[in-house]
Amino acid sequence: MESLNSGKSPGSRIDAGDDLHRAAAEIDTELVAKKLASFRARQAAYVAADKKVKAAVENEIAQERLLGAKDAVQDEDVDTLASKLAGDGLPRTNPFKPFGAPAPSVLKITDAVVEAETIVSLTAKIAKRRDLSKDSQAAATKACAAAKAVIVAAKPLPALRKKVVEAMAARESLAPGWEKAFSVLKRAARAAEDDGAPGIYEALFLRGAPKATGKKRAAKKGPDAKPAQPTNGAPANP
């Protein structure tokens, strides 16, 4: 038989608590009712805190995906701009060199926001050139717009990441109380074994043990319990 333990991680705590509650629904828990109620409250608070962590993480991931999508457009516009500038006679190896910017291949592997800021600066310089074609100027305008979209998409990320950290800290602050309530309930179940509820610890905290066949039976094995009657109508053995 395997003992039910917390596991010391958010997922394992929640799973253990849910497992314990399912087991408690099948037996008489009167002798540990207060301790069980206390644990239920701790479990509910911990589950709520965990949901906030997951929501915060999902929001961060969604924003990072949006940023990635904007960055992909930005990279495409960088290539288009480089091609148009090269067509105007600027160096093919690095059409951005006359403007003091890295080559497109280098620019695209830098941090998305750093790349965007570089593109905004680069396109501002390109806009001042009167010897470039309309295609180059149009490509520069489009690249600048894509870069600004990247900057906008990146702006919420620090606050979203902070919320993740805060939510995790809030959940972690509840862990000691959860662990204590779990241990207290475990001790209470052991004590209840001697106080008229034999089998309650096994039912709540041991897995792989034979299951009670009916609801509310596992902990009702005290001295006043009546012998079970056979289903065929024959009298029970003395």
Q: How many domains does the chain have?
A: 1
Question: Is the residue at 175 inside a domain?
Answer: yes
Please give the torsion angle defined by the CA atoms of residues 117, 119, 125 and 131, in that order, rounded to the nearest 10 degrees: -170
Question: Is the residue at 232 inside a domain?
Answer: no
Distance of CA 174 to the CA centre of its chain: 17
Q: What is the helix, strand, coil percentage profile of the chain, to 5?
A: 65, 0, 30
Question: Is the residue at 224 inside a domain?
Answer: no
DSSP designation for 30: G
Question: Is the residue at 233 inside a domain?
Answer: no
Question: Is the residue at 40 inside a domain?
Answer: yes
Question: Is the residue at 133 inside a domain?
Answer: yes
User: Which residue segment(s) compose the domain that 12 sits in?
Assistant: 2-207
170: burial class by Cβ within 10 Å (0-12, 13-18, 19+)? middle
Question: Is the residue at 138 inside a domain?
Answer: yes
Question: Is the residue at 238 inside a domain?
Answer: no
Query: What is the secondary structure of 38-104 as a DSSP string?
Result: HHHHHHHHHHHHHHHHHHHHHHHHHHHHHHHHHHHHHHHHHHHHHHHHHHTTS-SS-TTGGGT---H
| Residue 136 one-letter amino acid | S
The beta-strand segments (E) located in 88-228 are: 206-207
Residue 14 contacts residue 50 (beta carbons within 8 Å)? yes
Q: What is the pLDDT along the chain (238 residues), one digit of tens a residue?
A: 678 888 789 999 999 999 999 999 999 999 999 999 999 999 999 999 999 999 999 999 999 999 999 999 999 999 999 999 999 999 999 999 999 999 999 999 999 999 999 999 999 999 999 999 999 999 999 999 999 999 999 999 999 999 999 999 999 999 999 999 999 999 999 999 888 888 999 999 987 655 443 345 444 444 444 443 443 443 433 3
